[in-house]
Chain A
Amino acid sequence: GAVVSQHPSRVICKSGTSVKIECRSLDFQATTMFWYRQFPKQSLMLMATSNEGSKATYEQGVEKDKFLINHASLTLSTLTVTSAHPEDSSFYICSARRPVNTEAFFGQGTRLTVV
């Protein structure tokens, strides 16, 4: 299957700082990427849909000013958690989809811990 690479896999940051997570599709062009958040022992919750060259679409209840998404190219989307707080600690996962295929491929996830 296709490869989606997410970086970093783990990050610890101080409260009040910002953290950037990258999601790359390595062997295909992804016009659409998705960002999810997953709390321990829970399901994946969609945060936003990222479309190349346009503004991301955020799910209800997700603060767009706190979770900045940029999809500047067909192979890269970034999620920046601004002014992070301990309650932002979670597992963040991206996925990417080929333009003409309904399959979604997931990255390895990023474990964010805010101290």
Chain B
Amino acid sequence: GENVEQHPSTLSVQEGDSAVIKCTYSDSASNYFPWYKQELGKGPQLIIDIRSNVGEKKDQRIAVTLNKTAKHFSLHITETQPEDSAVYFCAARTPNAGGTSYGKLTFGQGTILTVHP
């Protein structure tokens, strides 16, 4: 099955700096890669996602890049703010046996991001 590795496990930055979190996946059939932000005691919130036919996607201060050949994707947060502090999870979705996109998500181990004022 799919295996997703996420690094680093913790990341501490100063407000205004950039933060980068990286993930690798094992199954070349995976075709959807979302990133989630989880605050303490809450469920994950989708912040950005990318599909396998796209190499980069940006939404204001957040961007995601995908390298299908190397099977890795990264989350980039620019101009970080204290409210960006949370746990971030990457995930990869592999199509089910029928070949549709409705397979299950495999999550990375998570990155605790701390943004210091």
Residues of chain A whose beta carbon lies under 8 Å from any beta carbon of chain B: 1, 4, 6, 32, 34, 41-44, 46, 49, 93, 95, 97, 102-109, 111
A32–B89 CB distance below 8 A: no
Interface of B is mostly: strand
Bound form: Cα–Cα A41–B111 in Å? 10
A104–B34 CB distance below 8 A: yes
B32 engages A43 (CB within 8 Å): no
The CA-CA distance from A95 to B43 in the complex, in Å, is: 9
| A22–chain B nearest beta-carbon distance, Å | 14
Contact of B43 among A41, A42, A93, A102 (CB under 8 A): A93
**B42 touching A108 by the CB < 8 A rule?**
yes
Is there contact, CB below 8 Å, between A1 and B46?
A: yes
User: In the bound complex, what is the Cα–Cα distance between A44 and B45 (angstroms)?
Assistant: 13
For B36, the closest partner residue in chain A by CB is A106
Binds A, one of B11-19, B65-73, B76-84, B102-110: B102-110
CA distance A28 to B58 in the complex (A): 26
Nearest A residue (CB) for B6: A43
